Structure 1
Amino acid sequence: MTTAIITGGASGVGKATAAKLHAQGYRVALLDRDADGARNSAGALAPDGATAIALGVDVGDAAAVRDAVEQAVGAFGPVRVLVNAAGVPMAAMPFHEVPAQEWLTSYQVNVMGVVHMAQAVLPSMRAAGGGVIVNVTSVAGQRARAGLSAYCAAKAAADSLTRTLALELATDGIRVNAVAPGSLDTPMFARFLKPGETMEEAMKRYLPQIPLGRMGTAQEMADAVAWLISDKASFITGQIVTADGGRAL
């Protein structure tokens, strides 16, 4: 069995991806700063912990990430797959009102979280003879959105990092790609709303921008991630697969 680490495993795309890979026969380690949520997700997959475990960790903390990866390797063996699905949104606000801490938090999780995880798993992947990294970024990294300056900038950086890692790690037999979701029907979506905005008002604002006329689902993103990991995508690296219902168009 192949070992996969999935960050953001407590909910949303991370949780759906962990379930998808586990169903395909992977041993999965679910990382999330919501330790209880991650344990619930892992417990639903393997109550005995034989093929799914949860580790509470903030991906913005490099030392904690290294410890978590060591625990995952100790439990399941060398890591061949890393899915960076952990991320933080931001409430829409004018650029001049965005506090410095919002920028720091966005970059610490959405960018440095990817950096910390990739650096931590590289020794294991290299020892195993290769692997696959998939970063869950966002269409916001490609299509600017007023009011989301810190988030858009961080996701654009994550896209660029994906391409750079693909170049650097190709000789190690490690493929690196990203899935860039659009608006998803997940718990995180509510955190993008404008102050005082209702979900109904948000739908009137968002849906006209999506050619397919609906929100995406975590399961659809998990399917895209699983395809990039699979041998069917064995000649694909350095790509950002946009899964947004056509919104970026």
Structure 2
Amino acid sequence: MVLGATGGLGAASARALARDGSDLALCFRSKRDAAEALAEELRGHGRTVTLHPVDATDPATIDAARDAAIAAHGRVHALVWAAGPLVDQLHLSETPLEKWKRAIAVEVNGFFAAAQSLIPHFRAEGGGAFVHLGSAGDLYWPPRDGLSVAPKAANESLVRGIAKEEGRHGIRANSVLVGVIDAGMFHELLAQGQFDDAWVKEVQAQLPLKRWGTAEEIGHAVSFLASARAGYTTGQQLAVAGGYGV
């Protein structure tokens, strides 16, 4: 079950999961056409794929998607949290309170609602996995990215809490810390002029690997953490960020 499946990283995660043998319940908010196109692509890999509208700020829609996914697939074995709005790059001192509230409502309250929705099902099925797409800013603060980094940092605590409290039920929770990825939101922010040449040079100077990451590389990490290959891994952060923060 992938929440935020029509985003660049959500779609890449879904593709990796499909290639590795998973059927998919793709959750989207407004981009139905994109969700349908992705579903058709993944069905080409021989996978069963269902579509489910979800508003991360409305827990009832998450519950409805869960129930529909269980009805269609028999059970959910993993939830991938890739939902989130486009994040304006603003210093904390210049961040409007309404934008802050929106970020918390989607990222933190939404992830919390998703966890509460899936935990009883995972318990009943003898286990399951949460994979949260976080931010490499949790390792080293990137100026002007507070609307993304701070809410995701709250979710890092939730990931550890789920791992600690639910491990006895066979439930795992881990996070992929996402660096600058040459896809999706990064392209949109570049087009808007929120990143300039000076920013690009400064960030790349901090990276041991002198390139941006790819959405596919995020997908590989997500698929690993969702799978039995990571069956003894929980409460961890896997940074796919070119060494950012080292």
Q: Same fold (TM over 0.5)?
A: yes
Relative to structure 1, the CA distance from residue 89 to residue 138 in structure 2 (aligned partners, 3 Å threshold; closer, same or farther) is farther
TM-aligned CA deviation for residue 9 of structure 1: 0.8
TM-aligned CA deviation for residue 88 of structure 1: 2.6
CA RMSD of aligned residues (A): 2.2
Deviations 1:113-136 (A, max 9, x none): 211111112222122111111111
Counting only pairs closer than 5 Å after superposition, residues 45-64 of structure 1 correspond to structure 2 as 45-46=42-43, 51-64=48-61
Give 5+ residue unaligned stretches, structure 1. Answer: none
Counterpart Cα distance in 2 of 1:138 and 1:197: 18
Relative to structure 1, the CA distance from residue 117 to residue 169 in structure 2 (aligned partners, 3 Å threshold; closer, same or farther) is same
SS in structure 2 of the partner of residue 92 of structure 1: coil
TM-aligned CA deviation for residue 94 of structure 1: 2.4
Q: Say yes or no: does 1:183 pair with 2:180.
A: yes
Counterpart Cα distance in 2 of 1:193 and 1:225: 25
Among candidates 12, 21, 26, match of residue 25 of structure 1: 21
Counterpart Cα distance in 1 of 2:28 and 2:57: 11
Counterpart Cα distance in 2 of 1:136 and 1:81: 13
Aligned to 1:214: 211
SS in structure 2 of the partner of residue 29 of structure 1: strand
Among candidates 84, 88, 93, match of residue 96 of structure 1: 93
Among candidates 158, 170, 175, match of residue 167 of structure 2: 170
Aligned to 2:34: 37
Counterpart Cα distance in 2 of 1:61 and 1:22: 27
Contact 1:91/1:195, CA 8 A, preserved across alignment: no
TM-score when normalising by structure 1: 0.90
TM-aligned CA deviation for residue 168 of structure 1: 0.9
Give 5+ residue unaligned stretches, structure 2. Answer: none
Among candidates 226, 232, 240, match of residue 229 of structure 1: 226
Relative to structure 1, the CA distance from residue 197 to residue 18 in structure 2 (aligned partners, 3 Å threshold; closer, same or farther) is closer
Stretch of structure 1 that moved more, 32-41 or 70-79: 32-41
Matched residue count: 245
Q: Say yes or no: does 1:80 pair with 2:77.
A: yes
Counterpart Cα distance in 1 of 2:103 and 2:149: 9
Deviations 1:142-192 (A, max 9, x none): 321222223221111111111011001101110111110110011111354
Stretch of structure 1 that moved more, 228-237 or 211-220: 228-237
- The letter for the 2-side match of 1:176 is A
* Identity rate, percent: 35
Aligned to 2:4: 8
Relative to structure 1, the CA distance from residue 178 to residue 217 in structure 2 (aligned partners, 3 Å threshold; closer, same or farther) is same
Question: Which structure is richer in relative contact order (CA contacts within 8 A, separation 6 or more)?
Answer: 2
- The letter for the 2-side match of 1:234 is G
Counterpart Cα distance in 2 of 1:199 and 1:147: 13
SS in structure 1 of the partner of residue 77 of structure 2: strand
